[in-house]
């Protein structure tokens, strides 16, 4: 493997890692925003009950 190829692989890996982190953050924001602020009572209560079952404080 030559130096240019190694540098390209490192840059691609870094971009891939950033994209994975960005997508995970967007998914988390969507889930918390959708479940936490949902006007549908069933969705909100399901999220609320799940938090309690995992001993996560929510009040």
pLDDT in tens, 22-35: 999 999 888 877 87
d(CA 21, CA 10): 17
Determine contact, residues 13/2, Cβ cutoff 8 Å: no
Cα-based torsion angle of the residue sequence 18, 24, 27, 33 in order, rounded to the nearest 10 degrees: -100
pLDDT (0 to 100) of residue 51: 79
Whether the model pTM is above 0.85 = no
């Amino acid at each position: 493997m030559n130096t240019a190829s190694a540098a390209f692989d490192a840059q691609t890996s870094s971009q891939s890692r950033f994209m994975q982190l960005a997508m995970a953050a967007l998914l988390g924001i969507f889930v918390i925003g959708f479940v936490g602020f949902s006007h549908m009572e069933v969705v909100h209560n399901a999220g609320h009950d799940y938090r309690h079952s995992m001993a996560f404080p929510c009040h």
